[in-house]
Copies of this chain bind each other. A is one copy, B any other.
């Protein structure tokens, strides 16, 4: 009913990072693409099979040192229903390796429709007398623009299934300020949203001081991270924007509390495309990803210090 399982994995691995799995076909090594196209043709199924094989290779290389993966739904939907099946299979494989799965889908709606999203991504659906998990996320990113009617249906499903959510608060992109930085009674919109998270989180309290309602806070805004950490003591942060978007480990330091908890930092392209950056053979994509994951962990841990969950 909270993000406790994620926090435990972070402590076990001493690694507050998450590997984003955003597999554009261009990122997939050519030998994998060729093999899948030969077998399935240049079809959505062929693309989806290639993504899955790439993801499995990455998961195999990372699961013992990285606590979580974050598949980004958009890159699976881009390959149609076949791609969405690969999202499921990726979640299934990551779960089988003990990784925590954050589905990055930024879903949002109201009432029974939001309940349907909650069931889809964090719950179980009833088909006749059978209960089935449609997707296998442990946490889901969501957008809170619609207010409590969009969040409340998630809290019940999280509570029943020991799951969590991350609400968009201050996103990492350059134009995030167009709305999020505008002032409401002297307070920026992202702080108003952040306080709503802290409030929603009261229904999903956790044993390590953080609730089941986390916030997405971009690494590219270090001052805002620091301020939000002080303002939202029980809200865990999912932090995009490290690496490819230009933020450094120092920018993120303000997200963490004295126990080294408080946030998890995402890297997607940095890890997936490490073989390109390291200029090694595409057959070594997994080893390159592992090297980059270790480098990133060490860099971030040099600012975080030891992570401890018993205070």
A residues with a Cβ closer than 8 A to B are 22, 24-25, 33, 37, 42-44, 46-47, 72, 74-75, 77-81, 83-85, 87-88, 106-114, 116-117, 119-121, 125-130, 132, 134-135, 143-150, 168, 171-180, 182-185, 189, 192-193, 196
Contacts and interface: CB of A to CB of B under 8 A. Distances in A.
A128 B192 contact: no
Contacts of A113: 22, 72, 74-75
Indicate how many identical chains form the complex: 2
A127 B111 CA distance: 37
A161 B114 CA distance: 30
A177 B44 CA distance: 41
26 contacts: A42-B128, A42-B130, A43-B132, A44-B127, A44-B132, A46-B127, A74-B113, A77-B121, A78-B120, A79-B125, A79-B127, A80-B132, A81-B84, A81-B85, A84-B84, A110-B171, A145-B145, A145-B171, A146-B175, A147-B178, A148-B175, A149-B175, A150-B175, A178-B196, A183-B184, A184-B189
Contact of A144 (B47, B110, B135, B179): B179
A165 B149 CA distance: 23
A42 to B, nearest CB: 4
A50 to B, nearest CB: 9
A135 B84 CA distance: 12
A37 B180 CA distance: 47
A42 B75 contact: no
Nearest to A112: B24
Most chain B beta carbons < 10 A, residue from A75, A108, A132? A108
Contacts of A134: 44, 77-80, 83
A43 B125 CA distance: 10
Given A42-B129, A127-B44, A143 B108 contact: yes
A111 B117 CA distance: 24
A46 B129 CA distance: 13
Given A78-B116, A85-B81, A109-B74, A147 B180 contact: yes
Contacts of A47: 125, 127
Given A106-B107, A143-B143, A145-B180, 15 more contacts: A25-B126, A42-B127, A72-B109, A72-B113, A74-B109, A77-B134, A80-B88, A108-B108, A110-B172, A147-B179, A149-B173, A149-B176, A183-B185, A184-B184, A189-B189
Contacts of A130: 42-43
Contacts of A147: 173, 175-180
Contacts of A22: 113
Most chain B beta carbons < 10 A, residue from A178, A182, A184? A178
Contacts of A176: 146-147, 149
- 6 shortest interchain CB distances as A-B pairs: A42-B128, A147-B178, A147-B175, A80-B134, A74-B116, A81-B85
Nearest to A184: B182
A186 to B, nearest CB: 11
